[in-house]
Copies of this chain bind each other. A is one copy, B any other.
């Protein structure tokens, strides 16, 4: 370790050594019980006498930070005094004290906005510890074929394939994964693409960011659904000059002349986020016709397309697109695992070329090992098997959920939907769902308050979402009953 003394310190050499060691112990760089450098090492490294080092250690022993053992040397104390560690124990503890700290964050402002100020739907990080976790878009650990994934990962990490994954120079994706996407996934959505019309991304999130960075800019306008996906709004805020919010009805995003002056229209037709409404075929065709007429581009986020219970999935808008007006985004993160962060984008080759170059500047490419593993996983049929296993479970939960809602919350408004991993509900106007969510957590129930999905959070303050991804089927009824009970605690 390269220990260093503070060159501007006015302390004695001994106290400088003591301060440096104490700081490193308190910062957790030397862990309790671990051996510290010998006096000789300290003397050499910090250019002080051995006596100075001995005397610094003596003070640290008095402070309770260090323990000395005869003939073994110095060790970090196992019982560091509480008052000394107080502020370092907090993982969100303050930054180190600096002489005259520069305010770097201030320099990151764009149009008066900071990236960290953006809206997100909140849920507790340890949601899986709650008995009634109504969470959406998550994988359920018990259903994931981990043995199969590990087997694919092992094969992907073979020495034979090392030349493949050791390379960081090319911007190309795993040929095998692109093939699986082209042959197995896209045709189910009615989309037929060539290799150079497909780009692998780090989840849908990255596809969205790439498209927004490429097509956004000064004077550019994007339209999105309201309510809609909060991270899309966050990204557009950072990349477009204007956002136009378009209402959603039972047929999906409303398509009318409002879209005329937009450069890009972002939509989630399979299951509208967060209402889960499916856009009608009629509406899809109307949207494409508008795109031709007003010369805008459609960004189709095929959210939860494969998860339908009541009807067959409709083909993607991209399947109807004959002029390359539609940029299509799909996700493997939802079906495989969100932690893997894999998605894909389909568009004309000339656009994919630009998106690939920009992705290259941002991250080169999504890790090839993960791509390769996913290709094997899909190729061996594990992905299809997983979907076959998950769908009936979700379908059953969905029906149980609707029954429970009919039973306990018949007056609560909900949208008519065919599927998806959640149900959006509108509580009475006097109920703030942030408060509802907080109260419910005390009873072990996790729900998602949906105000952040609305362009005007106030308009959505009484909306909440019940997710089906992680709740045990036999707990749904009781969970919904607890929601009714808690709703009744709010006074009109």
**Contact present for A187 and B367 (CB under 8 Å):** no
**Contact present for A341 and B354 (CB under 8 Å):** no
**Contact present for B105 and A324 (CB under 8 Å):** no
Q: Which residues of B contact A1 (CB under 8 A)?
A: 187-188
Q: Which residues of B contact A154 (CB under 8 A)?
A: 150, 153-154
**Contact present for B354 and A105 (CB under 8 Å):** yes
Tell yes or no: A310 within 8 A of B by CB. no
Q: Give the complex CA separation of A365 and B188 in angstroms.
A: 29
Q: Give the complex CA separation of A347 and B337 in angstroms.
A: 31
Q: Which residues of B contact A31 (CB under 8 A)?
A: 183
Tell yes or no: A266 within 8 A of B by CB. no
Q: Which of B165, B315, B366 contacts A2 (CB 8 A)?
A: B315
Please, what's the 1-or-0 string for A411-425, where 1 marks a CB less than 8 Å from any CB in chain B? 000000000000000
Q: Which residues of B contact A324 (CB under 8 A)?
A: 95, 98, 101-102, 104
Among residues 297 to 322 in chain A, which have CB atoms less than 8 Å away from a CB atom of chain B? 297, 315, 319, 322
Q: Which residues of B contact A28 (CB under 8 A)?
A: 182-183
User: Whole-angstrom distance from the CB of A164 to the nearest CB of chain B?
Assistant: 7
Residues of A within 8 Å of B, CB-based: how many?
119
Q: Which of B195, B205, B348 contacts A102 (CB 8 A)?
A: B348
**Contact present for B190 and A95 (CB under 8 Å):** no
Q: Which residues of B contact A123 (CB under 8 A)?
A: 169
**Contact present for A108 and B354 (CB under 8 Å):** yes
Q: Which of B100, B146, B349 contacts A323 (CB 8 A)?
A: B100
Tell yes or no: A280 within 8 A of B by CB. no
**Contact present for A194 and B339 (CB under 8 Å):** no
**Contact present for A235 and B361 (CB under 8 Å):** yes
**Contact present for A102 and B141 (CB under 8 Å):** no
**Contact present for B209 and A350 (CB under 8 Å):** no
**Contact present for B102 and A315 (CB under 8 Å):** no
Q: Which of B24, B214, B370 contacts A192 (CB 8 A)?
A: B24
Tell yes or no: A249 within 8 A of B by CB. no
User: Whole-angstrom distance from the CB of A140 to the nearest CB of chain B?
Assistant: 8
Q: Which of B88, B202, B323, B354 contacts A101 (CB 8 A)?
A: B323
Offer 15 A-B interface pairs, CB within 8 angstroms, sorted by A: A1-B188, A4-B190, A29-B183, A29-B187, A104-B351, A105-B354, A138-B168, A144-B162, A153-B153, A154-B154, A168-B338, A202-B363, A202-B364, A206-B363, A363-B363
Give residues in A with beta carbon < 8 Å to B.
Answer: 1-2, 4, 6, 8, 23-24, 27-29, 31, 88, 91-96, 98-105, 107-108, 110, 114-118, 123, 125, 128, 137-139, 141, 144, 146, 149-150, 153-154, 157-159, 162-170, 182-183, 187-190, 192-197, 202-203, 205-206, 209, 214-215, 217, 231, 234-235, 238, 263, 297, 315, 319, 322-325, 327, 333, 337-341, 347-351, 353-354, 356-358, 360-370
